[in-house]
Amino acid sequence: MFKQSLAIFLLAAAMASPSQASTVNIDADGSWNAFDVDDLIATSGGLEWIDLNGDALTFSFTLTQAAVLDVVDAGFGGDRFSIAITGPNNFSLQSLTSTSNNTFPDSLGLDFDQAFLSPDYSRLSVTLAAGTYSITGALFESALDDSGFAINATVGALRLTSVPLPAAAWLYLTGAFVVRTFSRRKA
């Protein structure tokens, strides 16, 4: 828990640093939107998500209906990301991608679809309701080289995929059922 809290603090500090910042608007079209992490290239010298110029990167999007947000590590397996999502009605989510296996020196490069399907690469999936969101991230845990040292450089990506309305209705109904069930148990 301390390590996760520290990662979120470091992410917030990195995003508040005086380095340059880029905002990329994305669509819920299912396409991958890549980002990099590299403490040698980042203008802040940190481990936050960056663009090719080394500037801190924020992804922004507006959903008109529910969508699934997927985040995946690529490059070498073994990396994990700390992610911060803000949205409508004071929505805030801080989370980590899943644990994964170190694959150095083997890499999938930029094959985000294959990385998302592989247990060797960390990932996170979150269903979001309609609204305007922003997401930032940082490297929480790095893949290790042959000497056991953290590489502290990777590539990752995120995508938004719209949930078809019948499926979205099913998700909302399931959520309402769960809330109602737990509310009755507490009463």
pLDDT tens, 7-38?
Answer: 444 444 444 444 578 899 999 999 999 999 99
**Strands (DSSP E) found in 4-148:** 21-25, 33-38, 56-63, 67-73, 80-86, 92-96, 123-128, 131-141
How would you classify the pairing of strands 21-25 and 56-63?
parallel
pTM value? 0.78
What the chain holds in terms of domains, given with CATH numbers, is: 2-186 (2.60.120.380)
Mark out the alpha helices in 56-164 (DSSP H runs).
112-117
pLDDT for 1: 52
